Amino acid sequence: MTVAEGDELVHDAAQQLASVGRLPPGMKVEQQSMRRIKGLERPLVIWSTRAEIPVLETTAEWIYTILTRTTGLVIVALSAKTRPDVRSIVGRLDQKRLLFWTEEAQAEFRRWTALCGTAVDPLR
């Protein structure tokens, strides 16, 4: 399990799950920057949208890198502290291909889709 871009809260939660045996046998928790694993794949990537995205590439390129590092599953933790440009890019994901843990998460995602094509959207 790779926690992307250093969200300490998410990393600590994953570590706690590992410490109480709630992860599949042999699964380890690592915290990596996407710059470090660019071009590599991981079976499970967790990304919190509140994590800082370095200014080395465009926001869209960085999010693309995060979303394409997995061979199996990517978990995107939506945060109320997410920048508007990140919200607009994440809001472009195909909702039919997403599984929402709560109705609240789905409602939040719908609010993010409303930002697509607006002045905060770097892809408009």
Query: 72-119: per-residue pLDDT in tens?
Result: 999 999 998 999 999 999 999 999 999 999 999 999 999 999 999 999
Instruction: Give the pTM.
Output: 0.87
Bridge partner list, 50: none
Neighbouring-strand partners of residue 42: 70
What CATH class does 2-113 carry? alpha beta
113-119: long-range contacts (C-beta < 8 A, 24 or more apart)? 115/84, 115/87, 115/88, 115/91, 116/88, 116/91, 116/92, 117/88, 118/88
Question: Given this model, what pLDDT does residue 88 score?
Answer: 96
Q: How confident is the model at residue 45 (pLDDT cuts 50, 70, 90)?
A: very high
Residue type, 3: V
Q: How is the chain split into domains, by residue range?
A: 2-113
pLDDT tier for residue 54 given thresholds of 50, 70 and 90? confident
Q: Which residue has the higher pLDDT, 111 or 51?
A: 111
Phi first, then psi: give them for residue 43, nearest 5 degrees: -70, -30
Q: What is the pLDDT confidence band of residue 38, given thresholds at 50, 70 and 90?
A: confident
Q: Is the pLDDT of residue 63 over 80?
A: yes
pLDDT at 5: 81
